[in-house]
Structure 1
Amino acid sequence: MVDVIKVFLVDDHAVVRRGMRAFFELLPDLEVVGEAPDGKAALDELAVAAASDCLPDVVVMDLLMPRMDGITCIGEVRALYPAVEVVALTSFSEAERVHAALAAGAAGYVLKDADADEVAAAVRAAHAGEVHLDAAVARKLTRSLVGGNEGVSALSSREREVLVLVAQGHSNREIAQQLVISERTARTHVSNVLLKLDLASRTQAALWAIRQGLVPSP
């Protein structure tokens, strides 16, 4: 039996919500359980869902919306409902906007011109406790973050520690426990590692670490 991931859609364009809903309905492991046209409405709907113990697993969130923008809403969702993950789905790839979304607690950042399969992959990754970044966004951010540095030299000592733990298969929660930091801080370190190394997933990070000899191959 397939474990179904409950998804909540937030976008001020009804056609976008309809399109995502139609696509997700074709997938056996994703179910749209609600939607909202802006951040304020999303928080209202999530409060109702929480009262009946029916919170979604993942929220797919636009960033530019009326009443309450996506960045603010991501922070509110993560603060109020820590078990609910958020994936940012937007037309904007500016480094500052991506940093703001990840700092607010987003577990993924996907552009609206990405394939629908990639949006689904980001939702699945978020539900699994992983960070998923659009490849084009990751490349752009790498240039802004790293400049002339390359490879492991671009990482701080703490980020190298996190990379090794990721490669060993540890979740964000386990990384936080081992390094005695908060789970949100662990998530931020993982995001920074992916950005600096121009990688899109934890799996890619693990393979990169093995190739670099940072951890032995399994």
Structure 2
Amino acid sequence: MPTPVILMIEDEDHLAAVVGDYLRAAGYQFHHLATGTGAVDWIRQNDPDLILLDLMLPGQDGLSICREVRLRSPVPIMMTTARVEEIDRLLGLELGADDYLCKPYSPRELVARVKAVLRRTQPPDLVRAPGLLQLAADRLQVCCGEQVIILTAVEFALLTALHQAAGRILSRQHLMNLIYADNRIVSDRTIDSHVKKLRRRLAELVPNTELIHSVYGVGYRYEEPDQPS
């Protein structure tokens, strides 16, 4: 298996040098860009396995880079920020980020988070179950007949949890525990935001069909039209 390539887009050179040492020691290839200018082109040409993306960058800022990358690729993106007020936006995946770290952070914690995100995004090759959807985990793809969409890592983890428990109600807390295994404190609206975006993506595959059902005050249930209640 090729050594995963981690791209860090960070204007603090000393921080990037320290993080690079830790990631190389953990067995990863590391590349650093000190500005957002040209970052999207570099990502398109080099196809890294994970991106560490600072929010505030010279040139193109991290938010717009994340938006552009998400138009073309499901590559895992971990945002780093000193702006605590941005955390809900990042966690809500309005931008398509998979994880975040607040500055200042421990390089050891960052390496642990990188490992966790890569494990989430590289599960066994195919999740098969009867019904409308087939989930290709190694590509973060969801298929329905000939139609295919690509999800973010967190969207895919959320769909997988609901899909595998089809017909059962999963609470928001249970879903948060599955997606954020490091037990961080996040709000219920984080999961609601994930579900809202996931529903929009699934509507591209199965128009006019509700697959993820809200259960008021409890959580969510995946159920296809031909499944018994």
TM bucket by the smaller chain? Answer: 0.5 to 0.7
Q: Secondary structure at the match of 1:106?
A: coil
Q: Is the 8 A contact 2:157 2:179 kept in 1?
A: no
- Tell me the residue number matched to 1:165: none
Deviations 1:147-205 (A, max 9, x none): xxxxxxxxxxxxxxxxxxxxxxx969889569x98634961994xx5799588724869
Q: Distance in 1 between matches of 2:137 and 2:17?
A: 33
Match of 1:78 among 70, 91, 102: 70
Q: Measured at CA, do residues 40 and 115 of structure 1 come closer, stay the same or move farther in structure 2, by a change above 3 Å? A: same
The one-letter code matched in structure 1 to 2:41 is D
- Tell me the residue number matched to 1:45: 42
Deviating above 6 A after TM superposition, structure 1's stretches of 4 or more consecutive aligned residues are 172-175
- Tell me the residue number matched to 1:61: 53
- Extract unaligned runs of 5+ from structure 2: 122-135, 159-171, 185-219, 221-229
Q: Is the 8 A contact 1:176 1:186 kept in 2?
A: no
Q: Is the 8 A contact 2:9 2:33 kept in 1?
A: yes
- Extract unaligned runs of 5+ from structure 1: 131-169, 206-213
Distance apart, 1:64 and its partner CA: 0.8
Distance apart, 1:60 and its partner CA: 0.5
Q: Is the 8 A contact 1:40 1:73 kept in 2?
A: no
Higher helix share: 1
Q: Distance in 1 between matches of 2:88 and 2:138?
A: 20
Q: Distance in 2 between matches of 1:200 and 1:116?
A: 22
Match of 1:110 among 101, 111, 116: 101
Q: Measured at CA, do residues 124 and 78 of structure 1 come closer, stay the same or move farther in structure 2, by a change above 3 Å? A: farther
Q: Is the 8 A contact 2:140 2:156 kept in 1?
A: no
Q: Measured at CA, do residues 55 and 15 of structure 1 come closer, stay the same or move farther in structure 2, by a change above 3 Å? A: same
- Tell me the residue number matched to 2:89: 99
- Could you tell me the percent identity over the aligned residues? 21
Q: Measured at CA, do residues 172 and 187 of structure 1 come closer, stay the same or move farther in structure 2, by a change above 3 Å? A: farther
Deviations 1:18-42 (A, max 9, x none): 11112212112x220x221222231
Q: Is the 8 A contact 2:154 2:179 kept in 1?
A: no
- Tell me the residue number matched to 1:22: 21
Q: Is the 8 A contact 1:103 1:188 kept in 2?
A: no
Larger radius of gyration between Structure 1 and Structure 2:
2
Distance apart, 1:75 and its partner CA: 1.4
Report how many residues are paired: 156
Q: Secondary structure at the match of 1:39?
A: coil
Tell me if 1:128 matches 2:137. no
Over aligned residue pairs, what C-alpha RMSD do you find?
4.0
Q: Distance in 1 between matches of 2:140 and 2:20?
A: 33
- Tell me the residue number matched to 2:212: none
Q: Measured at CA, do residues 9 and 72 of structure 1 come closer, stay the same or move farther in structure 2, by a change above 3 Å? A: same
- Tell me the residue number matched to 1:8: 7
- Tell me the residue number matched to 1:36: 33
User: TM-score if structure 1 supplies the norm length?
Assistant: 0.56
Distance apart, 1:66 and its partner CA: 2.0
Tell me if 1:187 matches 2:184. no
Higher strand share: 2
Q: Is the 8 A contact 1:176 1:183 kept in 2?
A: yes
Distance apart, 1:59 and its partner CA: 0.7
Q: Measured at CA, do residues 173 and 6 of structure 1 come closer, stay the same or move farther in structure 2, by a change above 3 Å? A: closer
Q: Is the 8 A contact 1:172 1:186 kept in 2?
A: no
The one-letter code matched in structure 1 to 2:64 is T
User: TM-score if structure 2 supplies the norm length?
Assistant: 0.53
